[in-house]
Amino acid sequence: MKKWVIGILTNLFVLSLLAGEGEYAVSKINPLLLKNANAVLRLEELKFEVSATGKATYKNHYVITILNENGDHWAECYEYYDKYRKIESVEGYLYDAGGNQLKKMKLKEMEDLSGVSAISLMEDDRVKRHNFYHKVYPYTIEYNIVIDYNSTFFFPPWVPASRSNLAVESSSMSMVCKDGYQFRYKAFNYPGEPVVTTEKDTKITTWTAKNISAIVKEPFAPMWHELTTMVIFGPTDFQVDSYKGNMRSWQDFGKFQYTLLQGRDQLPDNVKQDVHRLTDAVTDKNQKIALLYDYLQKNTRYISIQLGIGGWQPFEAKFVAAKAYGDCKALTNYMASLLREAGIKSYYSLIRAGENAGYITDDFPSQQFNHVILCAVPQPKDTVWLECTSQTLPCGYLSDFTADRFALLVDENGGQLVRTPVYGVNENTAIRKIAAALDEQATLSIKATTVYGGSQQDDIHGMINNLSKDKVKEYLHEELDFATYEVTAFDYKESKSSNPLIEEKLDIQVSNYATMSGRRLFILPNVMTRSHRKMAADENRKYPVILNYAYTDIDTVEINIPAGYTAESMPQEVSLDTRFGKYRSKVKLEADKLIYYRSMQAFSGRFEPAAYNELVKFYETVYKADRSRVVLVKNEQTKGF
């Protein structure tokens, strides 16, 4: 940029400051709030007013000062709308560091974009989006937003500091209801009680927070609601379209969901005939479930369509039978209909799906779910969980997408919260055996056989069931932990069950695996399983340590080496037994064969903040042990290499 242009911009900025400080001048921020902050929420005023069982208005007025480029995402206004959520008005303002207004905007100036998610064929969500794209720091943005709700299924939460590195000057949330209407709430890290006032026949309940310092997210920290102030809300009576319900209890919420299922389980005659053809001669109910699950997988596919009440209500079973597709709700309802025809009871089950996304507030009945699965009951005390959107998963296996979390079982009696299966240290396994040979050009020829179990086989299952053989080879050539290598052969075999296994066989050629220095040969005996976790110690750890994933890895390695070498330096055996996990590694030289053993068990659990540095030491020891090299020295009489 020309120097004179820079000079003009600088002078304009100085003049704006000299013009006087506005209400949102950066200089008015308490310096203590700037620590660790990329942005400061100067003011937030939220109001949610329930005017009828199915009607509400949400007003959101907020002002945020962006301190640096890492805070730029706060400057974007992003609001979705659909049949149940109408954006009534938006006003936006941009201010410089002195609090002087630079720009303003209204709703008509916002981008209007499709809100259809990547996994859906069709949704009625759309998005209004706006950004001032200002890059002179610091700057401040202000938005006034009014949204009309045509459903009271969801109540918005109040989270003043909704992400890390955001400080808060002032934030408030008001719930406004007629005296006869009751809403529910659950507060986290909020001292005291909200302030309640009345105006004629209206009750106003207000929560307020001031001067919240920016939170720096620590590794393995608890979930956000444990770290900051938050209040979640839920209705008692609510309405979606013509459907009314109540959320006072999980049972009541389940009753509402059950009304959405009524009359949608009727199968066409040809499908009924298929059910009886497959199952009538079978006496074992688990086998019947497996046969019908296989029928579902072979005759349907997952397509997401979320329109209006269809976002919560499944398509009829006859629709799925005719079209051979459906979303999670439709396919689950269809599978339940197949089982019912075979005389097997099952439960349509709401769940929050996603890896590391399984938490719900189980003592606060409300809509916290994003997926539906099926729980079949072949015996009074036996259950079989079915992921009905997958055409490849084994019967009875859920994967880490829906394992180890609450699900709401739904039937004519309402809803009941239960836990889905847990895959832990004994299920999430990778047992590897390697036979390798090192030649005189330092090329290592590897034959590796690995049996993966539980969630350790999830990604491999997805890869081999969804990618071509060429794509699998391409993936292997990019992902293995070697500098220069070629995968010359590979093969996978699946053992499908409620505890599935995948056997992987790889032939790999690794160039320059060993290092020569004079008569010495340096070689890493841990060929394929090395920990990459490196963590910095923190003497000021503030939050508890949460370890969510438990697994077991066992490696047995045999490497044939060229003749004529003896051991000069061998790594010491390492054995760790801690509350976070167990680790053992050892290596020995027998004749011309290097034999290495490694086992790692990682445990899940919750630990006090002071435990963090113990965890750091544990993984530091593992990291170093995994990279310990053997030093071999060549006998004087031996030539070559």
* Look-up of token digits 């030539």: 639
The pLDDT assigned to 115 comes to 61
pLDDT along the chain (641 residues), means of 10: 35 43 95 98 98 95 98 94 93 97 94 66 74 96 97 95 97 94 96 94 96 96 96 95 94 96 97 98 97 98 72 92 95 98 98 88 95 94 95 96 96 96 97 96 96 97 96 94 95 96 98 91 97 94 96 98 94 97 97 96 97 98 98 75 43
Residue ranges of domains in the chain, CATH in brackets: 21-240 (2.60.40.3140), 249-419 (3.10.620.30), 429-634 (2.60.120.1130)
Q: Is 296 helix (H, G, I), strand (E, B) or coil?
A: helix
Q: What pLDDT, on the 0 to 100 scale, is given for residue 83?
A: 87
pLDDT digits over 153-169, tens only?
Answer: 999 999 999 999 999 99
Instruction: Enter the tokens of residue 106.
Output: 């209204």
Tokens read off for 80:
């979705």
Q: Is 165 left (phi over 0), alpha (psi -120 to 50) or beta?
A: left
Whole-number pLDDT of residue 307: 56
In sequence order, what are the residues at sequence separation of 6 or more whose Cβ sits closer than 8 angstroms to the Cβ of residue 197? Answer: 203, 204, 206
What span, in angstroms and rounded, lies between the C-alpha atoms of 60 and 549? 38
- What is the predicted pLDDT for the residue at 532? 94
Running DSSP on this structure, what letter comes out for residue 262? T
Give the C-alpha distances (Å, rounded to integers) separating 526 from 446, 450, 457, 572: 12, 15, 21, 14
pLDDT tens-digit series, residues 366-404: 999 999 999 999 988 899 999 999 999 999 999 999 999
Confidence (pLDDT) at 123: 53
